Structure 1
Amino acid sequence: MSIVQFRTDINGLRAIAVLAVVLFHFAPELLPGGFAGVDIFFVISGFLMTRIIFNGFDKNTFSLGTFYKARANRIIPALAMLCLTTLAIGWFYLTPADYKTLSNDTLNSIVFISNFFYGGDAGYFDATSKERWLLHTWSLSAEWQFYIIYPLILVCLKKVFSLSQLKITILIGTIISLIYSVYSTYQTPELAYYLLPSRAWEMMLGGIAFLFPLQYLNSKNKARLEIIGISLIVIAYLFISKNTPWPGYLALIPVLGTFCILQANRQHSIFTDNPIFQKIGLWSYSIYLWHWPLSVLGIYLSLGTNWLYIGAPLSILLGFLSYRYIEQSNVNPANLNLKNILLYKPLLMVFGIAILAGLAKEHIYSHYRLSDKLISFMQTSTYEGKPGRCNGHWNKKMPECVYGEGELGAIVIGDSHASAIVSAIGRAMPNQSVLDWSMKMCPTIDGLYEISRGMKGTGCGDFVNYALKEAKEKYKNVPIIIVNRTSQSLYGRNEKTATKPKRFVGETFSERNDAYRQSITEGMINTACEFAKSNPVYVVRPTPELITNVYNQKMRDLMTGDTTKRVSISLDDYQKRHQLAWQIQDKMALKCGVKIIDPTPYLCDDKACYGDYIGTVLYSDDDHLNEEGGQYIMPAFKQIWD
């Protein structure tokens, strides 16, 4: 195969793409659409891969083995070094939970399937995704999958189609993939963002730029076409944001912009052929690899917006070093025989990193990795479940568990927030027991049915209806304690790991509206008052939601040397989140004499609400109290048994 002329416009485009991605990840407010730089990379890759394949077809010299090995030489060594470095640093500084996640992500990244797992976990712009050290490898996985499938299909089709027919087939495939991309972006946005079928059209459109070049463009028209392309990319960077459904039809803006620049083919342009962009373009792959972990580091250590001024230049420096000493290390392709395949360096790198990731996952709690202080903290602060806890699932029988000894002193009903503290109530009640009627994801509303992702759930409404009858007929005058995560029912989840809110009957996929919240309000008040006809009723003020996993955050702080910082949210944030929930409970008290139990004086002061106290973690995650937390707030319940 003859040597193809180096195109400075493509190299400059790489710089335009990677600089935008870096700036977006370090300071998204400065360039809200910078993530579209990845789409530019996809178009460039499609152009270059199609050029290699069809040049080989023209000369009858194309080899799948040589093609795959060349791609492996280009991508794997630098990626392997990144994975090795993050595993090594994470060994010393990541919590067991974070290191387990990193180990899994490393394995998925090095075998180029990470996009499948990220697509199933959360959206690219979700808060929890910003703490995944190898999230950016999703694009490498999608691209590698394209490298595997695209030439294989073309080689097969070439046996029955002519080259001109093959070109038309690619054009048709591009249109089909674009239509699917637009459809899936609105139906399954997380999967559409990460997976190849909704991204393939971008790479194939790059191939079309090679296969159908615009002929006979004079220098003026080339310059005009390039300016159109640059303008479209700038528009995408400035006016598209993380709130834009992506990739959908709006992805055509940066993609067509890149297409125009490729068609213009200007080799001495001030936009792309300048010394800075040419250097950045050469280092772009390695810059892309290293910038994201540096961005995560800034979030992990809470370094704030000023980290941009250190992290971005450091990304470029590491990109240069990686390009100079890893990408240019000349891993030569081997001949296709078993011995050389087994000794092929990129393949050995993949196996080596995969084995290391597996070993790292098995040793996340190792004494060699964690100090005695951290191990002691883990032993005193982790609570995985509660002994004797009843995990309720309605099947015409009450899920009943009893805590404590003696005569029945109270019944606790509610969702998982009730489950979190019921055993502590049982231990706190003197010479009496507590009956557990809690059930996960079941607000105490008569007649409500949970629906999760369109599937009928646990029969929550029947469960509460039956509880009303049992309380009246079997447990009359026994105090009822209602504990719910009311604000989740009203507004949806708010923690970092939240994706889509649960839905209830009568609610659409659209944002929960005032009419919906009014129905929830009336349902909660009416149900509490129905209980109050036969039993004393107590309702517990909402547990503060700390947004982040308290235990994991405390582990992070300890591993980074910060032993004084407390996990908290401001009191103002707590009050804003739960204002309506408080109003609902106040209406219960006015309407039918429901008594209110307020644990917030034990968890909050006049400035903030906290998830820990003197080094002891009070939560099992971000919003559920653990056994220590439940015991800590028990003085608020004294009015029940005094």
Structure 2
Amino acid sequence: MSIAYRREIDGLRAIAVLPVVFYHAGLSWLSGGFLGVDVFFVISGYLITSLLIGDIQRGRLSIVDFYERRARRILPALFVVLAVTTCLAWIWMLPADLRVYSRSLSSVAVFLSNVFFFRNKDYFADEFDMHPLLHTWSLAVEEQFYLLFPLLLLFLFRRGTRTCIIGLSVMLLASLMLAQWTSENEPRAGFYLIYTRAWELLAGAICAFVPRQDKGRFSTVLPMLGMVGLLVSYVMFDRYTPHPSFLTVVPVLGTVLVIVFASQRDLIGALLSSRIMVWIGLISYSLYLWHYPLLVFAKIRSVPAPTPLTIASLVVLAFVLSALTWRFVEQPFRRHREGLFSRRGIFIGSAAMSALVFSVGVAIFATDGAPDRKALRNLDLPRLTESLAPNRGLSNECNGRMPVPDSCATSESPKVAVWGDSFAMHLVVGLTAAYPELGVVQLTKSLCAPIAGIAFADRGRTGESPQACLDFSDRVLDYVTSTDSIDYVIVSSPFYYLFEPGGLAAVDGAMDPEGPQSTVLRNLEKTLERLESAGKTPIVVSPPPSNGQNLGYCVVNAELRGADPDLCDFPFADIQPELLEVGEMLHQLEGRHKVVWLDRILCDADGMCRASDGSTAYYRDGRHLSKEGSRELGCRTGGWFLFGDEPNGPADSGAVVVPANDRPCGQFQQNADLAQSGE
């Protein structure tokens, strides 16, 4: 068996790479553009298996030949991109970020970047992406698959074609079943790891055993049906769709239908075989390599975030670089087989370059991100690094620990309890700075809202079952209601992650048929009422305003580039819709419970929300307050106005000005009740 060149397959590569590029560029309506990687997996499985079957049938299968072809195809362009990204990282990244980059660089060199990002990065997380090599996870998956696949195929093929197809089909089903399980229980592992991605490559591999079905009454309809399935998936899937899972069968099957049934004689095959589609397909590998680092470094370099015009220009630049890389890097290494391009030269060069890349990563990591670089010598790096550090309140130990560690309480008889997730953590510094003698106990757990009976259901982000949050909330309620010294309970969370499709886990009877927002509000009110019935005064604090950009990094980046930090400020009208939705929910609590609005503190009368005050970054990332920002704002407002009256005005107007307070922090006049703090 031999494989003839099929122009429509190159065109199908274009259908795979373009959605990925546009998705990463922020094209909102292409919410499932990331599925282009799945299409690549199917195409790769088909082409590689077809070549291997041809070699086996001719009795010429050579594992050495196979890996030589893979090295020629994958490594030259990859090393060029790695060299450029490492130079840009060296110039533009802060030490902490460069240190993380160095680890990802070393993982790419040994094709384990999927494992690295599985441990360190949620692909769909909202936070600003500082990982220029995130997209290399898919290369690692492919190379891990092909490490043993040729030997497995040879073993099965020698036992007959039927046995081979059955064996591959059994493995496909096992991998698909595992993908479905992980989509419900460990979605991050399912996304990144080979075990749950192998079925997509195997789907393509099985296509190599199926004779072309480009004739007959279905040869026109089925390719069209497959393409419709692909395009609909690109639009209908989003970050909340379980993936990979049974639902991923739709784009994978669509790709299979195009591979098996399309030809240049039908409409879909003709479109895919057009000159422009074939050209994009030919440069698709280089385009995949180039586009993502360019977009990430634009975000790293820009103050504020890059404009749509800048993003569009970078996409065009990615095409230009990809065409040059295909012409002057990919093609010479694939065509020439003498001298440096000989098999010996390829293997020695690949090993040497891989070792060099790995060593560079290790060296940068060993220097702790190279803080002595010339571009950073005149900067106050400790202050900049601290401004971006996680703000976990009193201590890093205050994350889901019960009984309460000593480091998470400022008094043996605390007057105030702070309960919630990371958005409660970031209030503690400001509160204790304004009231240093106040007895405070911190009762916080990441992604665990201060509500009894419900919890966040996505284990891919929490790394544990929702029951851990449910149990923590019950223990906090028992502790607070049974501790006589506690008079006030400050509860805070962004809450919106509970609104995500499938994001809510509830105990029996806690789920409201009207939807997650209604469920959250009802159970939050019940929790507040339970606190009040125990003689406690609950105070709800809203999340800070955010426009979705990494505001903390923007302010730091402004100082790095010598730009005005005011460029990081944003109008209230740009606040993210989910935060407005949370605001609407919290408004329904007013009148019955006290609600403190942080947008009244951070947004002024002109409707502009501030990201900094001079050199002080209020935020450490896109949504959380920095330590210094929390301290500054807490001092200025007398502890977030928690125990006094806020300025009047609607929280959604952005029209309230909070003047700076001239008194030093910790010198506010405390009322008599608070003065008896139990210290």
Q: TM-score range by the shorter chain?
A: 0.7 to 0.9
* Kept in 2: contact 1:383–1:627 (CA 8 A): no
Q: Which residue of 1 aligns with 2:67?
A: 68
Q: Which residue of 2 aligns with 1:562?
A: 563
- Match of 2:242, SS state, is coil
Matched, 1:373 2:379: yes
> Residue 373 and residue 421 in structure 1: after superposition, are their counterparts in 2 closer, same or farther (change >3 A)?
same
Where does structure 2 lack aligned partners over 5 or more consecutive residues? Answer: 457-463, 639-667, 673-679
Provide the aligned C-alpha RMSD in A: 4.2
* Kept in 1: contact 2:429–2:630 (CA 8 A): no
Per-residue CA deviations over 1:348-393 (Å, capped at 9, x if unaligned) read 2221111112223334251214241352752774667799759457
Cα distance between partner residues in 2 of 1:398 and 1:247? 40
* Kept in 1: contact 2:96–2:368 (CA 8 A): no
Per-residue CA deviations over 1:524-545 (Å, capped at 9, x if unaligned) read 244146335xxxx584743525
Q: Give the TM-score of the pair, scaled to structure 2.
A: 0.76
Displacement of 1:89 after TM fit?
A: 0.6
User: What pairs up with 1:104-183 in 2 under 5 angstroms?
Assistant: 104-121=103-120, 123-128=122-127, 131-158=130-157, 161-183=159-181
User: What pairs up with 1:178-577 in 2 under 5 angstroms?
Assistant: 178-214=176-212, 218=215, 222=219, 226-264=223-261, 266=263, 270-300=270-300, 301=302, 302-307=305-310, 309-330=312-333, 344-361=348-365, 362-368=367-373, 369-373=375-379, 375=381, 377-378=383-384, 381=387, 389=395, 391=397, 399=406, 411-415=416-420, 420=426, 422=428, 425-426=431-432, 428-429=434-435, 433-441=437-445, 453-456=465-468, 459-471=472-484, 475=485, 480-488=487-495, 491-492=496-497, 512-528=516-532, 530-532=534-536, 539=539, 541-542=541-542, 544=544, 546=546, 550-565=551-566, 567-568=568-569, 570-571=571-572, 573=575, 577=582
> Residue 125 and residue 316 in structure 1: after superposition, are their counterparts in 2 closer, same or farther (change >3 A)?
same
> Residue 93 and residue 256 in structure 1: after superposition, are their counterparts in 2 closer, same or farther (change >3 A)?
same
Cα distance between partner residues in 2 of 1:410 and 1:459? 21
> Residue 522 and residue 242 in structure 1: after superposition, are their counterparts in 2 closer, same or farther (change >3 A)?
closer
Matched, 1:640 2:651: no
User: Which 10-residue stretch deviates more, 145-154 or 29-38?
Assistant: 29-38
- Match of 1:124, SS state, is coil
- The aligned amino acid for 1:456 is A
Q: Which residue of 1 aligns with 2:648?
A: none
Displacement of 1:613 after TM fit?
A: 0.8
* Kept in 1: contact 2:433–2:631 (CA 8 A): no
Cα distance between partner residues in 1 of 2:580 and 2:230? 43
User: Which 10-residue stretch deviates more, 73-82 or 360-369?
Assistant: 360-369
Displacement of 1:141 after TM fit?
A: 1.5
* Kept in 1: contact 2:102–2:361 (CA 8 A): yes
- The aligned amino acid for 2:60 is T
> Residue 334 and residue 102 in structure 1: after superposition, are their counterparts in 2 closer, same or farther (change >3 A)?
farther
Displacement of 1:459 after TM fit?
A: 4.4
* Kept in 1: contact 2:404–2:443 (CA 8 A): no
- Match of 1:128, SS state, is coil
- The aligned amino acid for 1:109 is V
Q: Which residue of 2 aligns with 1:593?
A: none
- The aligned amino acid for 1:246 is H
Cα distance between partner residues in 2 of 1:320 and 1:20? 18
User: Which 10-residue stretch deviates more, 284-293 or 306-315?
Assistant: 306-315
- Match of 1:6, SS state, is coil
- Match of 1:373, SS state, is coil
Q: Which residue of 2 aligns with 1:88?
A: 87
Where does structure 1 lack aligned partners over 5 or more consecutive residues? Answer: 590-595
Q: How many residues matched?
A: 611
> Residue 33 and residue 527 in structure 1: after superposition, are their counterparts in 2 closer, same or farther (change >3 A)?
closer
- The aligned amino acid for 2:564 is T
* Kept in 1: contact 2:388–2:553 (CA 8 A): no
Cα distance between partner residues in 2 of 1:630 and 1:152? 61
> Residue 77 and residue 363 in structure 1: after superposition, are their counterparts in 2 closer, same or farther (change >3 A)?
farther
- The aligned amino acid for 1:311 is L
- Match of 2:358, SS state, is helix
Cα distance between partner residues in 1 of 2:408 and 2:50? 68
Displacement of 1:521 after TM fit?
A: 1.4
Q: Give the TM-score of the pair, scaled to structure 1.
A: 0.80
* Kept in 2: contact 1:391–1:439 (CA 8 A): no
User: Which 10-residue stretch deviates more, 604-613 or 326-335?
Assistant: 326-335
Q: Which residue of 2 aligns with 1:587?
A: 592
Cα distance between partner residues in 2 of 1:99 and 1:500? 35
* Kept in 2: contact 1:111–1:350 (CA 8 A): yes
